């Protein structure tokens, strides 16, 4: 068996690999790294479901247009919307048409603390042969690249940066509390959710996460090695070898128990001549070393209940 390639590279390599290009990013490029989650609460009952689905798609397009959206690293900040029907009219035919006027208000804010950061309202008009088509025609008039909408998004992202800059000490201390409780994944998740645009806070978080990751790495090494041994000892066939090799591949070569992991992998390989290939490039490994833990922890968070009370 070939020696196992690392799925995690020590965080310090990441810190050393920060390029001048990243450090020289302009403000708009930095702000593009802010992550905002699309969240659409229940709308008025007289809004057709198809129109609500289209509104959700428009919100996703807005975040995509702004290089935002969908990150598991942070579920705190949201973009949402609320609709209000202003008028409904019948236009004499033939054919008879229905016209509708809707006010759609967009919001960006802290969905956990319920603090609104930015908002923008637009009026949409739609016409169709029936009410549903009129609603859909109106929603189609939402233009994600509209300068006014983009200005609203930028304002919201700036407020998020202000949040991290003002709450940095609290976030760092909360991560250290998680570390003291042995909740290393939660600590790493919290620290890695800080965007790079918050330069001082981000750098402090990266220095803080290094020793936490080191402890996590060593503990995981012991756990994974024991798990691989148990599988191999109980099932010494091709299936057992493949399962054990998959577990061993998660062990960081910098961990103290890695030589024992290598010895076990060689034992397995000697019997079955298995070859484990890892297609990730070294650069990707450096960039994703600690974030892999943060993302995994974020994905395992319980469904978030957002607070938008008083936003509209």
What DSSP line would sit under 152-213, residue for residue? Answer: HHHHHHHHHHHHHHHHHHHHHHHHHHHHHTT-HHHHHHHHHTS-TTSHHHHHHHHHHHHHHH
Q: Nearest to residue 12, comparing CAs of 290, 204, 258, 216?
A: 290
pLDDT at 208: 95
Domain ranges in the chain? 11-20+167-299, 24-163
Top-confidence residue, 272 or 2:
272
The rounded distance, in Å, linking the Cα atoms of 108 and 106 is: 7
Across the range 221-242, mean pLDDT stands at: 89
The rounded distance, in Å, linking the Cα atoms of 245 and 217 is: 18
Tens digit of pLDDT for each residue in 232-255? Answer: 999 888 788 888 888 888 888 888
pTM: 0.67
Tens digit of pLDDT for each residue in 14-41? Answer: 433 433 334 334 344 455 567 788 888 8
The rounded distance, in Å, linking the Cα atoms of 119 and 101 is: 20
Strand order in the sheet with 77-91: 37-38, 77-91, 97-110, 115-128
Q: Nearest to residue 216, comparing CAs of 125, 289, 300, 134?
A: 289
Top-confidence residue, 281 or 131:
131
The rounded distance, in Å, linking the Cα atoms of 223 and 79 is: 40
What fold does the segment set 24-163 form as a domain?
Rossmann fold (3.40.50)
Top-confidence residue, 36 or 108:
108
Top-confidence residue, 91 or 71:
91
* Mean pLDDT for the chain overall: 80
pLDDT at 274: 44
Identify the weakest region by mean pLDDT among 5-19, 74-88, 126-140, 234-248: 5-19
Beta strands in the chain (DSSP E): 37-38, 77-91, 97-110, 115-128
């Amino acid at each position: 068996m070939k020696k196992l390639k690392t799925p995690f590279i020590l965080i310090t390599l990441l810190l050393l690999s920060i390029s001048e290009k990243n450090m020289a990013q302009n403000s708009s490029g930095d702000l593009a790294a802010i992550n905002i989650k699309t969240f659409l609460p229940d709308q008025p009952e007289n809004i057709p479901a198809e129109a609500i689905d289209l509104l959700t798609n428009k919100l996703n397009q807005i975040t995509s247009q702004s290089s935002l959206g969908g990150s598991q690293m942070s579920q705190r900040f949201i973009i949402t919307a609320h609709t209000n029907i202003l008028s409904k009219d019948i236009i004499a035919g033939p054919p008879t048409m229905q016209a509708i006027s809707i006010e759609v208000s967009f919001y960006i804010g802290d969905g956990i603390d319920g603090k609104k950061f930015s908002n923008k309202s637009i009026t949409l008009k739609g016409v169709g042969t029936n009410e549903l088509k009129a609603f859909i025609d109106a929603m189609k008039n939402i233009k994600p690249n509209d300068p006014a909408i983009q200005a609203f998004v930028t304002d919201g992202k700036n407020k998020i940066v202000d949040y991290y800059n003002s709450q940095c000490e609290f976030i760092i201390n909360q991560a250290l509390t998680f570390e003291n409780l042995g909740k290393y994944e939660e600590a790493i998740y919290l620290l890695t959710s800080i965007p790079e645009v918050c330069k001082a806070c981000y750098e402090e978080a990266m220095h803080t996460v290094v020793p936490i990751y080191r402890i996590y790495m060593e503990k995981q090494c012991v756990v994974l090695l024991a798990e691989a041994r148990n599988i191999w000892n109980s099932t010494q066939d091709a299936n057992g070898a493949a399962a054990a090799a998959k577990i061993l591949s998660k062990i960081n070569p910098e961990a103290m128990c890695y030589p024992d992991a290598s010895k076990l992998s060689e034992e397995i390989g000697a019997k079955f001549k298995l070859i484990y290939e890892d297609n990730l490039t070294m650069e990707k490994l450096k960039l994703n070393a600690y974030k892999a833990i943060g993302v995994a922890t974020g994905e395992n968070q319980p469904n978030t209940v957002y607070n938008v009370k008083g936003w509209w």
